[in-house]
Amino acid sequence: MATTYEWSFTFDTKSSDNSITTIHWRLTAVDGDNSASMYGSCAGSDGMNFDAITKEHCINCVLENQDTTIEEMQSNLSAQIEQQKNPETISKTKEW
């Protein structure tokens, strides 16, 4: 099954002018029954208005404030999913 990636965002805004002060983000990868996600936040910039913001603006804000690329983020999430599918270690119990 192919891995899909989905962004989600929530916002902190000033009530006085609806400007965005913080963008909270999450990037989630799903492959069948396995999923992984990463999250963070970035500061809004002057003039960033909640009513005018687009998904592309949010993604650009994340990438500008992270020391990574979208490809590296997706690779990290895919590796986490691969680890779930093929764990290096497993937990076992023993009844005595």
- pLDDT tens string 65-78: 888 899 999 999 99
Q: How far apart are CA 85 and CA 93, in angstroms?
A: 21
Q: Where are the domains of the chain?
A: 4-77
Q: How far apart are CA 24 and CA 62, in angstroms?
A: 9
Q: Which residues of the chain have pLDDT under 50?
A: none
Measured on CA atoms in the order 77, 66, 57, 44, is the torsion positive or negative?
positive
Per-residue pLDDT, 7: 98
Assess contact for 48 and 12: CB atoms under 8 A.
no
Per-residue pLDDT, 90: 84
Assess contact for 22 and 44: CB atoms under 8 A.
yes
**How far is CA 51 from each of CA 20, 47, 64, 67, rounded to the nearest angstrom?**
10, 11, 21, 28
- Could you tell me what percentage of the chain is helix, strand and coil, using 3-state DSSP and rounding each to the nearest 5? 30, 35, 35
Per-residue pLDDT, 25: 97
